[in-house]
Amino acid sequence: MTEERVEQVFGPVYFRKFVCDGKACGSLCCGGWHIPVDPLARKRFESLSDPARDDIFGKLSEKESGWEMRHGEEGNCAFLDGDGLCSLQKEHGEELLPDVCYSFPRVTYRFSGFAERALSVSCPVAALIVLPPSEPLPIEMREEPALRSSAAVRPPMEALRWESALPSIQLRAVSFLQDRELTLWQRLLRLGRFLASLEARCGKEPPDEEALRLCALEAESGEKSAPRAEAMPRLRYMAALTAALYEAEYPADRLEALACQVAVVEAEAEKEIHKRYGHILENLAVNEFFLRLYPFACGGGLLANFKLFALRFRLAEFSLLLSATAENAVPDEETVLAMLGRVMERLDHSRAADDFLRECVASDMRGLSAERVISLL
Ligand code: SF4
């Protein structure tokens, strides 16, 4: 019997609970999406003998960008069977799958000493594992079975340079996000101050534990809350961002009407959403931190990363506010999980949406402090 290969893994401790179940989600990730076939997967397909090889290549197409799975008549992956399962996996096993099918919804960043790994909540089965727990998500360095190395995402250069300090930085960040003595926005504010202080204190050098301790103290020493900016400009901005996220062209009067409607319910609905689903939003924020490898998800420094993080979080929360506005009631938990999954799917899988938000951070939030960003969202 061969021994299972293991590796050091850092991140939320829920990973082994995930089992793909196409029947439970309606094979969500097998429909509509573009599914690339990486060169190693193509080689594996080529090494099969006929008729399996012929059958597989009959379900692939070659595009300028490379090979990909064909879609069947209903827009699903050509390998998806009527039972909601993948015929490629059923007939040949998981090892034959292209990297994207083998890994989704797991996202792995591989460093020299450990791998960082999280589940994307755009998979409904993963969302049910990640979001509902009422206890804070545990985060640890531990051993787990190693995943195929070609399916890992290469971390950005800055993250690689700060590898030695990354787990400590992320643990500090998570301790702010999971501080249940504070409101969600107070926690975000402290996180923003912490990252701003780290950026100012450390420049390009990874911090040691003492520097992290001092930055954490600095983050805790300021005002607990930032005064909120006037409702209408804030809500107009969020409504415009939401429309852009779904690539919808809303005329100015429609955006204005939407912002006005949300303004009527915002205070009460937000309070109720935080009361009933604060733990879900907290878990979403903590999970995002690992899934996108904050504070190195985008260029521009640690504070810019905080801005992107806060903007994405607010967009997710804003979708719940929109639902509460439309239905005149805060959504139930099932709807909340589905809505958050859809927003994250949009944010994670649409290059246009991702580019757009990075552009917002670079232009609309340029030069703003963490306090100012929190007050504007
Ligand atoms: S990975 Fe998730 S979304 Fe995709 S088929 Fe499996 S359970 Fe469904």
Q: Is 109 helix (H, G, I), strand (E, B) or coil?
A: strand
Checking if the pLDDT of 227 tops 90, the result is no
Q: Is 160 helix (H, G, I), strand (E, B) or coil?
A: helix
Checking if the pLDDT of 137 tops 80, the result is yes
**How many CA atoms does the CB half-sphere of 318 hold within 13 Å?**
25
Two tokens, residue 217: 């103290």
Mean pLDDT of 141-168: 93
pLDDT digits (tens, 9 = 90+) for 156-215: 999 999 999 999 999 999 999 999 999 999 999 999 999 999 999 987 789 999 999 999
Checking if the pLDDT of 28 tops 90, the result is no
Checking if the pLDDT of 2 tops 70, the result is no
Pocket mutation for ligand 1, best pick of 33, 90, 125 (most atoms within 8 Å of C-beta): 125
Residue 63 has what pLDDT? 87
Q: Please tell me which residue, 189 or 248, carries the higher pLDDT value.
A: 189
Residue nearest to atom 1 of ligand 1 (CA): 20
Distance CA 144, CA 151 (A): 16
Angle between helix 184-202 and helix 166-177 axes, rounded to 10 deg: 150
Mean pLDDT of 341-358: 86
Mean pLDDT of 268-295: 96
Residue 3 has what pLDDT? 58
Ligand 1 atom at minimal distance to the Cα of residue 104 = 1
Q: What burial letters (b/e) apply to 147-166, b meaning 16+ CB within 10 Å?
A: beeebbeebeebbeebeebb
Checking if the pLDDT of 27 tops 50, the result is yes
Q: CA nearest 80: which of 120, 89, 94, 96?
A: 89
Alpha helices in 7-133 (DSSP H): 22-25, 39-46, 52-57, 87-92, 99-103, 124-130
Cα 28 to ligand 1 centroid, rounded to whole Å? 6
Mean pLDDT of 253-272: 90
- Number of H helices and E strands in the chain, helices first, is 16, 7
Cα 310 to ligand 1 centroid, rounded to whole Å? 27
Residue 297 has what pLDDT? 94
Q: CA nearest 111: which of 148, 145, 153, 169?
A: 153
Residue 147 has what pLDDT? 86
Using CB distances shorter than 6 Å, the residues near ligand 1 are 20-22, 25, 27-30, 104-105, 123, 125
Cα 94 to ligand 1 centroid, rounded to whole Å? 14
Ligand 1 atom at minimal distance to the Cα of residue 20 = 6
Distance CA 185, CA 358 (A): 21
Checking if the pLDDT of 1 tops 60, the result is no
Cα 338 to ligand 1 centroid, rounded to whole Å? 14
Tell me the range of 73-77, 308-312, 358-362 where mean pLDDT is highest.
308-312
Q: What is the mean pLDDT of the chain?
A: 91
| Strand 6-12 to 115-119 pairing | parallel
